[in-house]
Structure 1
């Protein structure tokens, strides 16, 4: 129901990652090549990026299609970053939330995006509301499944879970409440990326010149792109990528790596996902 992309690596103009490639995220807004659900991503877009020595990312989001925004090309031409997360949106259910419903969502150092849909939303996730601090569901940025999933992830992050653990546990919890949901989640803190492949496509590229791209689909035909198997947690730094299988809630849960374990020399976490 959308396409998203995250990057870590040497400083680059946003446009070199989001606009210039032949099958860039910009082009995927109207002509995705591997999108399984929906055909056009015209219900909003956004990009978040990190500036040097500032851990809190900036964001630029709009409610309409990215190709209709004349400022976007100028912005991406001059702004440079070592880390970003961007998305183009195909709304699961039309609503009045405008750009508030466009990823990336943000809190503190984190940027988050959801590619997919929660089955039976909103009734299916009503039983999970009591698991959140009372203020969280009352202050959702948008009335969408993605915003609620972000609230579940954020509650885990604030409770001390590492990023990979927070994504894995949220995917399993939402799947148990709403079987058949598609939950390709993406999260970055500007230093590493965590993402899940759960019901839709996910790829990664370790760039020969340095840097890692994680995306819903390749933005060019570079043969170094690798597809992430379904039911997998990805943890990446600018130099390394670690893939860990995820199991359905009815199965014995596999251990989940920390986000930092994708960094050079970082050992996988022995911490077990919670149900």
Structure 2
């Protein structure tokens, strides 16, 4: 059970998005509040973290900072988060699926050219997914996977669709449909941004969004007491920019 967040809006210090707010992503790493329906309690996200952001300069980025240690154990993060500013951010904390890579290459966000990608959930028998779905990945795609994990595989599947020109939401929805046809028990909260728009699916885990003036945040968990948070219904797709938000069934 990972946790992730994406933000679009005026450039802000990363600290204001990831570490300072009440029940921030930093806190969700060691004290998540929401658990999948089948779980007795939330899982601590101690298997690494990653932050991806687009610098304010036009056309720059994305840039990533990823570690295999818990977010709270990185002594460099507070200083970096205080001075780095961005108006487009995707960040995640990780609870590793058994049998997957444990180094920082397995920490989201994964990079797809201009896109950043994250996955909150799990796919049973993910190693056999391409064969079972008819997803004919090339040797170059398989060897180019950033890590040995279900999330990295889903990233490659999403990238195939994005690089052929399919819109963000359509690409994610197609990956969810194809995966759940072969793995009905899969949990597939997918999140992707190109620095201008956000697309995310809720399929088996919690997802919320918040809009305020010219900004939008999509996150696994809301900040308690902060107004404007809305829960995304399960089995839904959310498409968001700084000024628009749409939700539709998967």
| Fold agreement, TM-score > 0.5 | yes
Pick from 189, 193, 197: which aligns with 1:188? 193
What's the secondary structure of 1:212's corresponding residue? strand
User: Number of paired residues?
Assistant: 245
CA contact (8 A) 2:47 2:102 kept: no
User: Equivalent residue for 1:215?
Assistant: 219
Q: Deviations over 1:106-150 (max 9, x none)?
A: 021100000000123323443347522331012211110000010
Paired position in structure 2 for 1:12: 12
- Which secondary structure does the structure 1 equivalent of 2:66 belong to? strand
Which residue pairs with 1:256 in the alignment?
none
- TM-score, length of structure 2 as denominator length: 0.94
Candidates 220, 231, 236, aligned match of 1:232: 236
Question: How far apart in 1 are the matches of 2:92 and 2:205?
Answer: 15
Q: Summarize the alignment of residues 11-160 of structure 1 with structure 2, pairs less than 5 Å apart.
A: 11-36=11-36, 37=39, 38-51=42-55, 52-128=57-133, 130-160=135-165
Contact kept in structure 2, 1:129 and 1:137, CA below 8 Å: no
> 1-side partners of 2:151 and 2:16: how far apart?
27
Taking the aligned partners of 2:79 and 2:150, their CA distance within structure 1 comes to 32
Q: 1 or 2 for the larger relative contact order (CA 8 Å, sep ≥6)? A: 2
Q: What is the distance in 2 between the residues matched to 1:191 and 1:72?
A: 25
The 8 Å contact of residues 130 and 137 in structure 2, kept in 1 or not, is answered as no
1:272 equivalent in structure 2: none
Q: Distance in 1 between matches of 2:167 and 2:136?
A: 18
Moved more, 46-55 or 180-189: 46-55
CA distance in 2, matches of 1:131, 1:122: 13
Q: Which segments of 5 or more consecutive residues in structure 1 lack a partner in the other structure?
A: 247-275
Partner Cα separation in structure 2 for residue 130 and residue 237 of structure 1:
30
CA contact (8 A) 1:8 1:190 kept: yes
Deviations 1:22-78 (CA, angstroms, capped at 9, x unpaired) = 100000000011133542000010000001213430000000101000001111100
* SS of structure 1 residue aligned to 2:153: helix
Matches of 2:112 and 2:216 in 1, distance apart?
23
Q: What is the CA–CA distance in structure 1 between the aligned matches of 2:193 and 2:234, rounded to whole Å?
A: 20
CA distance in 1, matches of 2:235, 2:98: 25
Structure 2 gaps, min length 5: none
